[in-house]
């Protein structure tokens, strides 16, 4: 017999922010747990691709041996089998810890709509965790599991990720089977994946995906296998709303700048059709599908459903079939309008959520504030897009801020490849654990191009005059770094644009020099090197971690009489000092 523990002692949905238990973690994140993590008895699981990883499942996803409540005690029932996705993950070697809290019947984006308690934010417990997959996001962010399953209809696999400093992978519809999942709106539901790194989320998707003929909405979808171009184009909404949250607006502009530094060009896209689709998800006949999902239970037990979930689902009774056909046609029309943006962009980038509310704020105005959290998520599944939420920054007030990359159906690997590079460049840590990100992993679905890594120290740095020679050849920024402490940097006289020269010296005579490491397709490397004028050239540089990389060096004879600027620690600081001197003279 499977041993399990049922947790039912959390505060009500109207309570104050959750009080952590003795471990410092909120018990409201869990609804039920196995006494001993559940593992597969299949022989192949012992060496499966997810061996050693532990996971949790949102409690609208069946797991044999634990009840499925969908966040409603009266709905609780014992499933007869694992959900298809749980079965696949167990077969791949992962072990299941238990079932997590959620906004009741996956109806909400904030994490406070549960009789098992409001799940607090993992970074600041006064704030919402985001929902409806609140518990799944919390247990990943706090390091209790390696990954967790959520579901996503309106953004429930992305908003909690953005608000808890973790990754939320919302696959293209139908990639993961939803058989054995209590639906919210079955035609647009997705099983989603939470993890602390893109690499882990991708491993889970690879292990769990596959066509399931027993799921009406499963499909075998062709996947794009080429990474986005090095000089990619990303869409930015024409109208951005942060609900007066200046910290979120600053963080979003920083995200735009980071993507530009990676080689991207920002393209303004018309957000109006996307915004209208987002509004239709809850404010039209589309809500009838939420009623249909649990109609038998709801009609018999309406009083057992909490507010505002009860009113939202009950509204689905008020629409006719004609109303539904009309709104479905409108969504198709808006989708045709939105499709025009793909002619000018490779993917769309939006804030995962426009702002961050406290639990008290959300409970005082649960419908309006919940709707605002979905401003940049509600349209995605209705228009059949893939999406990936990645952490971007910790705001000045200490709250996390995430962005979401959105692509056409089948772009999942492309989003993951670029999203992983973005996440690692952000310098963020893992969730609420404070641990650094693990090394980036190869995205198996992407066919890699032969590349060479090159260190630049001067006019080719990001934002400098010759940086275009890199980006026009498809080079992408990997990271900033420093040399080992045995180099001197000089300002070369008479060069246009101004350039530095770097020379290796004895260790006791050198300094660490800041540089950037770029990755360039090998097919373009020859044309780049041909542009380098004497006395500069390419040699081998030693970095402060003792590794080596190809990079710019200078012939020693050319440095006779050149100004030694090593004390600035890098070319950018030296250029900034010149600008400061000019300003001082002008004053």
DSSP readout, 115-150?
TT-PPBPSS-TTBB--SSSHHHHHHHHTTSSSEEEE
Instruction: Considering the candidates 129, 133, 156, 462, report the single residue annotated as catalytic.
Output: 156
What does the block give as tokens for 49?
Answer: 């691709």
Q: CA triplet 527, 528, 529: central angle to 5 degrees?
A: 95
| H/E stretch holding 21 | none
Q: In the block, which residue shows the tokens 């507010």? A: 307
Instruction: Considering the candidates 32, 58, 136, 411, report the single residue annotated as catalytic.
Output: 58
What pLDDT is stored for residue 3 in this prediction? 44
Contact (Cβ atoms closer than 8 angstroms) between residue 255 and residue 247: no
CA 484 to chain CA centroid, nearest Å: 34
Q: Where are the domains of the chain?
A: 26-426, 451-586
Which CATH code is given to the segment(s) 451-586?
3.10.490.10
| Residuewise pLDDT in 10s, the chain (587 residues) | 344 444 433 322 222 334 555 566 888 999 999 999 999 989 889 899 999 999 999 999 999 999 999 999 999 999 999 999 999 999 999 999 999 999 999 999 999 999 999 999 999 999 999 999 999 999 999 999 999 999 999 999 999 999 999 999 999 999 999 999 999 999 999 999 999 999 999 999 999 999 999 999 999 999 999 999 888 999 999 999 999 999 999 999 999 999 999 989 999 999 999 999 999 998 999 999 999 999 999 999 999 999 999 999 999 999 999 999 999 999 999 999 999 999 999 999 999 999 999 999 999 999 999 999 999 999 999 999 999 999 999 999 999 999 999 999 999 999 999 999 999 999 999 999 999 999 999 998 998 778 999 999 999 999 999 999 999 998 989 999 999 999 999 999 999 999 999 999 998 899 999 999 999 998 899 999 999 999 999 999 999 999 999 999 999 999 998 999 999 999 999 999 998 766 554 54
Q: Is 88 a catalytic site residue? A: no
What pLDDT is stored for residue 236 in this prediction? 98
Contacts of 157 (CB under 8 A, 6+ apart): 133, 150, 151, 168, 169, 170, 190, 192, 193, 194, 389
What does the block give as tokens for 436?
Answer: 């650094």
How far apart CA 288 and CA 280 sit, in angstroms, is 12
Would you tell me how many other CB atoms lie within 10 Å of the CB of residue 572?
A: 18
Would you tell me how many other CB atoms lie within 10 Å of the CB of residue 315?
A: 16
How far apart CA 199 and CA 162 sit, in angstroms, is 17
**Segments in 427-552 forming alpha helices (H):** 468-471, 522-529
Report the sign of the C-alpha dihedral through residues 58, 368, 348, 271, in that order: positive
Helix, strand and coil in the chain, % to nearest 5: 35, 25, 45
Q: What is the pTM of this model?
A: 0.80
Beta bridge partners of 477: 518
Q: CA triplet 533, 535, 538: central angle to 5 degrees?
A: 75
**DSSP secondary structure letters along 324-377:** HHHHHHHHHHHHHHHHGGGGT-SEEEEESSS---BHHHHHHSHHHHHHHHTTTT
How far apart CA 430 and CA 438 sit, in angstroms, is 9
Q: Is 51 a catalytic site residue? A: no
DSSP 3-state of 208:
helix
Instruction: Considering the candidates 132, 172, 177, 462, report the single residue annotated as catalytic.
Output: 132
Would you tell me how many other CB atoms lie within 10 Å of the CB of residue 254?
A: 16
Contact (Cβ atoms closer than 8 angstroms) between residue 452 and residue 446: no
Residue among 133, 99, 125, 100 at smallest CA distance from 15: 125
Largest Cα separation within the chain, whole Å, is 90
Residue among 251, 241, 240, 253 at smallest CA distance from 396: 251
How far apart CA 334 and CA 349 sit, in angstroms, is 19
Q: In the block, which residue shows the tokens 């930015």? A: 236
How far apart CA 284 and CA 290 sit, in angstroms, is 12
How far apart CA 220 and CA 559 sit, in angstroms, is 62
By the 10 Å C-beta count (0-12 exposed, 13-18 middle, 19+ buried), 248 is classed as buried
What pLDDT is stored for residue 20 in this prediction? 55
How far apart CA 369 and CA 159 sit, in angstroms, is 13
How far apart CA 283 and CA 292 sit, in angstroms, is 16
How far apart CA 378 and CA 156 sit, in angstroms, is 9
DSSP 3-state of 229:
coil
| 549 backbone dihedrals φ, ψ, rounded to 5° | -155, 150
How far apart CA 169 and CA 190 sit, in angstroms, is 10
Fold of 26-426: Amidase signature (AS) enzymes (3.90.1300)
Tell me the C-alpha to C-alpha distance, in Å, between residue 566 and each of 150, 390, 508, 510, 541.
52, 37, 14, 8, 16
Pairing of strands 95-100, 54-58: parallel
How far apart CA 140 and CA 56 sit, in angstroms, is 9
Q: What is the DSSP letter of 227?
A: P
What pLDDT is stored for residue 26 in this prediction? 84
Is the backbone peptide bond immediately before 584 cis, with ω within 30 degrees of 0?
no
Q: In the block, which residue shows the tokens 């690692």? A: 424
By the 10 Å C-beta count (0-12 exposed, 13-18 middle, 19+ buried), 440 is classed as middle
By the 10 Å C-beta count (0-12 exposed, 13-18 middle, 19+ buried), 402 is classed as buried
What does the block give as tokens for 480?
Answer: 């900033």
How far apart CA 221 and CA 345 sit, in angstroms, is 22
What pLDDT is stored for residue 10 in this prediction? 31
């Amino acid at each position: 017999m499977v041993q399990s523990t049922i947790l039912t002692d959390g505060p009500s949905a109207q309570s104050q922010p959750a009080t952590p238990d003795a471990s410092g973690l909120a018990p409201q994140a869990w609804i039920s747990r196995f006494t001993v993590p559940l593992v597969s008895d299949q022989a192949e699981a012992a060496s499966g691709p997810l061996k050693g990883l532990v996971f949790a499942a949102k409690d609208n996803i069946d797991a044999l041996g634990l009840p499925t409540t969908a966040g409603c005690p009266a709905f609780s029932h014992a499933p007869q089998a694992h959900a298809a996705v749980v079965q696949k993950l167990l077969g791949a070697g992962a072990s299941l810890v238990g079932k997590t809290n959620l906004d009741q019947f996956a109806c909400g984006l904030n994490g406070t709509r549960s009789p098992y308690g409001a799940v607090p934010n993992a970074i600041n417990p006064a704030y919402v965790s985001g929902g409806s997959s609140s518990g799944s996001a919390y247990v990943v962010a706090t390091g209790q599991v390696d990954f967790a399953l959520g579901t996503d209809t309106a953004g429930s696999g992305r908003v909690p990720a953005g608000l808890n400093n973790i990754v939320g992978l919302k696959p293209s519809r139908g990639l993961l089977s939803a058989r054995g999942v209590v639906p919210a709106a079955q035609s647009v539901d997705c099983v989603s994946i939470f993890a602390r790194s893109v690499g882990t989320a991708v491993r889970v998707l690879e292990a769990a995906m596959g066509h399931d003929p027993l799921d009406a909405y499963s499909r075998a979808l062709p996947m794009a296998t080429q990474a986005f171009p090095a000089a990619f184009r990303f869409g930015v909404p024409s109208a951005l709303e942060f609900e007066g949250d200046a910290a979120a607006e600053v963080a979003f502009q920083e995200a735009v700048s980071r993507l530009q530094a990676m080689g991207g060009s920002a393209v303004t896209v018309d957000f109006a059709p996307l915004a209208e689709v987002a509004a239709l998800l809850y404010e039209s006949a589309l809500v009838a599908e939420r009623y249909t999902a649990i109609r038998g239970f709801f009609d018999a037990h309406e009083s057992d459903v909490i507010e505002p979930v009860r009113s939202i689902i009950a509204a689905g009774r008020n629409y006719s079939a004609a109303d539904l056909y009309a709104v479905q046609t409108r969504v198709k029309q808006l989708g045709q309008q939105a499709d025009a943006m793909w002619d000018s962009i490779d993917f769309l980038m939006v804030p995962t959520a426009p702002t961050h509310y406290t639990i008290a704020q959300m409970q005082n105005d649960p419908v309006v504030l919940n709707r605002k959290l979905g401003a940049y998520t509600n349209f995605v599944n209705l228009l059949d897009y893939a999406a990936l939420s990645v952490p971007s920054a910790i705001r000045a007030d200490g709250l996390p801020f995430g962005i979401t990359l959105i692509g056409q159906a089948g772009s999942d690997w492309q989003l993951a490849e670029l999203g992983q590079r973005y996440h690692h460049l952000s310098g963020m840590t893992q969730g609420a654990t404070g641990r650094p990100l693990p090394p980036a992993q190869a995205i198996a679905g992407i066919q890699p191009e032969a590349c060479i890594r090159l260190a630049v120290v001067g006019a080719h740095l990001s934002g400098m005059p010759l940086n275009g020679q890199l980006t026009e050849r498809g080079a992408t920024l990997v990271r900033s770094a420093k040399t080992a402490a045995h180099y001197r940097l000089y300002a070369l006289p008479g060069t246009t644009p101004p350039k530095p020269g770097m020379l290796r010296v004895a260790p006791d005579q050198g300094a660490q020099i800041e540089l950037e490491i770029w990755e360039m397709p090998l097919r373009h490397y020859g044309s780049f090197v041909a542009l380098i004028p004497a006395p500069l050239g390419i040699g081998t540089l030693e970095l402060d971690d003792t590794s080596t990389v190809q990079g710019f060096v200078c012939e020693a004879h050319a440095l006779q009489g050149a100004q030694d600027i090593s004390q600035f620690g890098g070319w950018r600081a030296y250029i900034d000092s010149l600008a400061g001197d000019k300003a001082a003279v002008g004053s």
